[in-house]
Structure 1
Amino acid sequence: MTASSSSAMATPMLLFSCFCLLTGDMLFGFDTGSFGGILGNPGFVNQFGTFQPETHSYKINSLRTSLLSSLAFIGKFIGCFVAGPAIEKYGHRIVFYALSVISIIGVIIEITAADTGPGTGRLAQFIVGRIVVYVSIGLVEVNVTLTEYDFSRTYQSEIVPASFRGLVVVSLQLFLVAGGLVASGANKAYETETTGFGWKTITGVQLVFPVLIIVCTIFIPDSPRWLLSQDRDDDAIASLYQLRPKENGSSGKCEAELSEIRQSLHEVVHKAAWIDLIRGSNLRRTSIVMIFYFFQQATGQAFVSTYQTKFYQQNGFAEQAYTYPLASSVLGLIAVGMAMCFIDRLGRRYTLFMSYAFQALWMYVLAGIGGLSHQTPASQNSIVAAFMLYQLFYNAGGASIPYLLGAEIPNAAVREKTQSIGTAWNVIWAFVTNFVIPYLMERIHFGVGWVFGSVSLVALLYTFFFLPETKVSSLSAFSLPLFANTLLFFSKRAGHLRN
């Protein structure tokens, strides 16, 4: 398909359907970015911290920081785990409405978790609110951002033509970063607010996104693939008529595309059982998805998003602790622009090579320079630069491509289930990393860079040896790298692997 024909496929309804649901990623991005700043907000600290008699001030210790950041992922785990079956049964649109209502309820619980004075914060209530909000984030991760990020993005990946599926999917990371940029601006505006007004206002802004999702969902069609899985062929054709150019409908191309979908799914439109995730070639596919969902968290995502403000405050950059995240968010937008250019030109593998290689490099630079006994203005600037450059290259590939792989590698019969269990696995590691990072920052300081740099290096090696290139026209076809094929051959010969 030529560039001109590809652009012709981008109809107003297709663009609207993709755009309006990008607000789901902004919801995720805003929550992550805003909470990172709220943790250091004076008003929030005064209401939810513990009083320190020696300094006559309040402080949120490492345990409370870990609980506030990590326990929310219980909700995300629940949301991710139920999203796949819910989508299979009710469709994407119903799940959009549900996640929006859940998000609104959670935000209200958060805002009402403190009164007006210092020490009035009800920590348990705020954590419950965070958990409820993250149920909606989990639903977003699978329903909107899973092609987790998010959160390979199920709805978009099923409605867009294969020729620019990668571009549309990675654009979701753009809106996630944009949500973080809005959050960084809000945090900056209230960085000196010592009452609860500041953090409550920042939290309340989050209500905008679920309301937008509710309004937009009214006008978008169901996924043709989902309709086909429900034996609703007529509705699937009607949906394609809405999403594709008019001439496609009059010339019979919509019927041909529906036939191609059936063929690409190997005539399997009904969903398989959970046990099929580990049967035959599905075991290899499931393993790849879960490993990259692990890398999406374990290479340092939370360190540069949730904890960047705390990192700056604890390591001599307190005056710029709310300014540097703004700069990082702008760089993040540039990085996603890079990913959108590279993803369908270089492919998934080479883009990840670049991302993981530079993630490892800049984490090692941060750890090495930060560990120097004598810090100069130049070395401090280098630390900040390394931190920001890590975030730039993370957003250039490692942030979004694992989700794209989650849509392109699994077979259609188990795609939603693979995404659900893979994202739940991602959430487990998000919980682990969010819980341990405050302790790592307190005890080894810049040594955190050695940890996440080494994980990034492992991710680079795994990508080189085992990741297939999935830049193909079908959501189900892929080929393994030469090294992995060699291992597969000898494994078969040895009788250790069944396909």
Structure 2
Amino acid sequence: MTNLRGSMASISPVLIFSCFSLLVGDMLFGYDTASFGGILANTGFINQFGTYNSKTKAYAISSTHTSLLSSLPFIGKWIGCLVAGPAIERYGHRMVFYILSAISIIGIIIEITAAGTAHGTGRYAQFVVGRIIVYISVGLVEVDITTYQSEIVPAAFRGFVVVSLQLFLNAGTIVATGINRAFSTDTSSVGWKTVTGIQFTFSVLIVICAYFIPNSPRWLLSKDREEEAVAALRRLRSHGDFESGRCDEEIQAIRLSLQESVHKAPWTDMFRGTNVRRTMLVIVYYFFQQTTGQAFVSTYQTTFYKTNGYAAEAFTYPVINSCLGFLSVLPGMYFVDKFGRRPSLMTSYFFQAFWMFLLAGLGERTGNTSTTKNMIVASFMLYSFFYNMGGASIPYLLGAEIPNSALREKTQSLGASWNVIWAFVTNFVIPYIISSIHFQIGWVFGSISIGYTLEEIDAIFAIPFNPFQKTKDQVDAINRSRVQHEIADDNKQTAIHEEITA
């Protein structure tokens, strides 16, 4: 409690602005994902980029083209995530914000100008290229924001602040679903062009906000720019901290905690010594984030509703779902620091599995009543509610916390890149799964949500581990991991304090 009060006393207006203003970048990601889900079902877009079917006398986009439109952009995100770490290390967080904004604007222009002059004349390949370029900026923003926040905020609030990215991501989703609904009946190209063009707003806001924030003191120290690091920290901390000299003490504490890792380490160090375990843990967390069904809910919900008997409300339900997702992040931001990362994440996974199983079980029944149909929709929304409460954002937090300072950006880049690979896979296969097994898709994603506890995952990398039979050594390793996690922070703070006061 004392540490919490001390951390609150260190908060300055610049810190609050720096932590939250650039989350408009996450709004860009949330908006793009949700808006495209609506665009795929927009009649004007289908008429322009679809193929005419003489039997139905209407235009349609095939499952293959839908898969490519949804999955290929993740190539861009993979590139963005992979280069984000080295770019941040070399140029700093602020410069990367400027770069990603310029990339986003270029991609949006390419998307909008892909429109043809009549039905069936849209330049499909050009639109895909535009989405790939936009997603390069999305990959950059994911890594840039989480690493920047984790480096400037006091430890007591790190979980609250980093998890807030999901709040802004859902805010972008709400805006997108609302605009999609407004243009849902538009049969011309004006509707989908407007939905796409609104993304310019987020890119411009990122440029404006980045101008006013300081560089990360830790990044400045890695460049041996100690005076600038102290000046940046003074802006990020309260006047009281500055007057009492606590800013200088914090710089010394950062140097002490970094020890020999003040300068950034090469990529190969991620797979040496204890860093191997850190790297693998980040990869595991990011794997589960993408393979538990989030793309099914975020990208394909409108299409799913239209093809499974809910066409009349296909554009309304996503708006409700987005609002619930936004609200669910608020308790999640509190729980992650109050109860810890592990309980929050495991609770999220449990309920994700539960609602996916319920959706699948109810959907398979024949002759469903209106009550059953409403319960199916509720299951869909409640899955999203609990996903946003923990499973969506905590992997980003752990990706920023688990690596050591010398490898933070590179490990986060690698983890996010691995995340993108699975995002590509899931987005590509979901249209085929929906077409083939419909509601039974819930059994697939629900099963993946049921996994091992974090201590068991830790044990995988500590000793040879059999997931079906725990030996006494494995149980002991799990118990030791629990104890070590509880006392690690206290020991670290004590060591830092003793060195400073010596």
TM-score normalised by the chain length of structure 1: 0.91
Q: Secondary structure at the match of 2:59?
A: strand
Q: Secondary structure at the match of 1:194?
A: coil
Alpha-carbon deviation of 1:488?
11
Alpha-carbon deviation of 1:12?
0.7
State the alpha-carbon separation in 1 of the partners of residues 345 and 280 from structure 2: 18
Q: Report the counterpart of residue 187 of structure 1 in structure 2.
A: 180
CA-to-aligned-CA distance 1:442-483 (integer Å, 9 cap, x gap): 00101110010000012xx24352259xxxxxxxxxxxxx95
Q: Report the counterpart of residue 107 of structure 1 in structure 2.
A: 108
Partner amino acid, structure 2, of 1:87: I
Q: Secondary structure at the match of 2:337?
A: coil
Partner amino acid, structure 1, of 2:424: F
State the alpha-carbon separation in 2 of the partners of residues 48 and 115 from structure 1: 9
Q: Secondary structure at the match of 2:78?
A: helix
Q: Report the counterpart of residue 357 of structure 2 in structure 1.
A: 364
Q: Secondary structure at the match of 1:58?
A: strand
**Paired residues of 1:228 and 1:269 also in contact (CA < 8 A):** yes
What are the residue-to-residue correspondences of 1:240-389 with 2, within 5 Å? Answer: 240-389=233-382
Q: Report the counterpart of residue 491 of structure 2 in structure 1.
A: none
Partner amino acid, structure 1, of 2:17: F
1:168 to 155, 161, 169: 161
Q: Report the counterpart of residue 457 of structure 2 in structure 1.
A: 466
The verdict on how the C-alpha distance between 1:33 and 1:66 changes in structure 2, with shifts beyond 3 A counting, is same
2:393 to 388, 396, 400: 400
What are the residue-to-residue correspondences of 1:127-206 with 2, within 5 Å? Answer: 127-144=128-145, 153-206=146-199
Partner amino acid, structure 2, of 1:53: S
CA-to-aligned-CA distance 1:393-449 (integer Å, 9 cap, x gap): 000000000010001111111111111111110000000000000000000101110
**Paired residues of 1:116 and 1:196 also in contact (CA < 8 A):** no
Q: Secondary structure at the match of 2:209?
A: helix
State the alpha-carbon separation in 1 of the partners of residues 320 and 132 from structure 2: 29
State the alpha-carbon separation in 2 of the partners of residues 111 and 105 from structure 1: 10
Q: Report the counterpart of residue 474 of structure 1 in structure 2.
A: none
Partner amino acid, structure 2, of 1:162: A
Q: Report the counterpart of residue 417 of structure 1 in structure 2.
A: 410
Q: Secondary structure at the match of 1:207?
A: helix
The verdict on how the C-alpha distance between 1:236 and 1:483 changes in structure 2, with shifts beyond 3 A counting, is farther
State the alpha-carbon separation in 2 of the partners of residues 488 and 340 from structure 1: 27
State the alpha-carbon separation in 1 of the partners of residues 476 and 388 from structure 2: 30
Alpha-carbon deviation of 1:345?
0.5
**Paired residues of 1:116 and 1:195 also in contact (CA < 8 A):** no
Alpha-carbon deviation of 1:184?
0.5
Q: Report the counterpart of residue 444 of structure 2 in structure 1.
A: 451
Partner amino acid, structure 2, of 1:295: F
Partner amino acid, structure 2, of 1:58: Y
Q: Secondary structure at the match of 1:344?
A: helix
Gaps of 5+ in 2: 460-472, 481-502
Partner amino acid, structure 1, of 2:183: Y
**Paired residues of 1:114 and 1:120 also in contact (CA < 8 A):** yes
The verdict on how the C-alpha distance between 1:386 and 1:464 changes in structure 2, with shifts beyond 3 A counting, is farther
Residues 1:119 and 2:124 aligned together: no
Q: Report the counterpart of residue 477 of structure 2 in structure 1.
A: 486
Q: Report the counterpart of residue 214 of structure 1 in structure 2.
A: 207
Partner amino acid, structure 1, of 2:477: T
State the alpha-carbon separation in 2 of the partners of residues 348 and 55 from structure 1: 52
Alpha-carbon deviation of 1:484?
7.1
Partner amino acid, structure 2, of 1:486: A
State the alpha-carbon separation in 2 of the partners of residues 60 and 224 from structure 1: 50
**Paired residues of 1:117 and 1:195 also in contact (CA < 8 A):** no
What are the residue-to-residue correspondences of 1:83-102 with 2, within 5 Å? Answer: 83-102=84-103
CA-to-aligned-CA distance 1:101-127 (integer Å, 9 cap, x gap): 000000000001012421121100000
State the alpha-carbon separation in 2 of the partners of residues 341 and 390 from structure 1: 20
Alpha-carbon deviation of 1:305?
0.2
**Paired residues of 2:46 and 2:59 also in contact (CA < 8 A):** yes
Alpha-carbon deviation of 1:8?
2.7
**Paired residues of 2:110 and 2:129 also in contact (CA < 8 A):** yes
**Paired residues of 2:88 and 2:96 also in contact (CA < 8 A):** yes
CA-to-aligned-CA distance 1:281-319 (integer Å, 9 cap, x gap): 111111110011011101111111011101101110011
**Paired residues of 1:466 and 1:483 also in contact (CA < 8 A):** no
Alpha-carbon deviation of 1:334?
1.4
Residues 1:48 and 2:49 aligned together: yes
Alpha-carbon deviation of 1:53?
0.4
Structural RMSD (CA)? 1.5
Q: Secondary structure at the match of 2:261?
A: coil
Q: Secondary structure at the match of 2:361?
A: helix
CA-to-aligned-CA distance 1:329-380 (integer Å, 9 cap, x gap): 1111111011011010110000011100000000000011111122111111
TM-score normalised by the chain length of structure 2: 0.91
Q: Secondary structure at the match of 1:218?
A: helix
Partner amino acid, structure 2, of 1:13: V
State the alpha-carbon separation in 1 of the partners of residues 183 and 474 from structure 2: 53
Partner amino acid, structure 1, of 2:345: L
Residues 1:15 and 2:16 aligned together: yes
1:435 to 400, 408, 428: 428
**Paired residues of 1:191 and 1:322 also in contact (CA < 8 A):** yes
Partner amino acid, structure 2, of 1:257: E
Q: Report the counterpart of residue 147 of structure 1 in structure 2.
A: none
Q: Report the counterpart of residue 63 of structure 2 in structure 1.
A: 62
Task: Answer with 274-283 or 90-99: which moved more.
Answer: 274-283
State the alpha-carbon separation in 2 of the partners of residues 400 and 408 from structure 1: 13
Alpha-carbon deviation of 1:58?
0.5
Q: Secondary structure at the match of 2:315?
A: coil
State the alpha-carbon separation in 1 of the partners of residues 206 and 253 from structure 2: 31
CA-to-aligned-CA distance 1:231-278 (integer Å, 9 cap, x gap): 111110000011111121121100111111112223411111111111
Q: Report the counterpart of residue 494 of structure 1 in structure 2.
A: none
Alpha-carbon deviation of 1:156?
0.8
| Segments ≥4 residues shifted beyond 6 Å | none
**Paired residues of 2:80 and 2:137 also in contact (CA < 8 A):** yes
Q: Would you say how many aligned residue pairs link Structure 1 and Structure 2? A: 466
Partner amino acid, structure 1, of 2:454: T
State the alpha-carbon separation in 1 of the partners of residues 28 and 73 from structure 2: 15
**Paired residues of 1:349 and 1:467 also in contact (CA < 8 A):** no
**Paired residues of 2:96 and 2:140 also in contact (CA < 8 A):** yes
Q: Secondary structure at the match of 1:394?
A: helix
Structure with the higher helix share, 1 or 2:
2
**Paired residues of 2:34 and 2:176 also in contact (CA < 8 A):** yes
Q: Report the counterpart of residue 81 of structure 2 in structure 1.
A: 80
**Paired residues of 1:184 and 1:326 also in contact (CA < 8 A):** yes
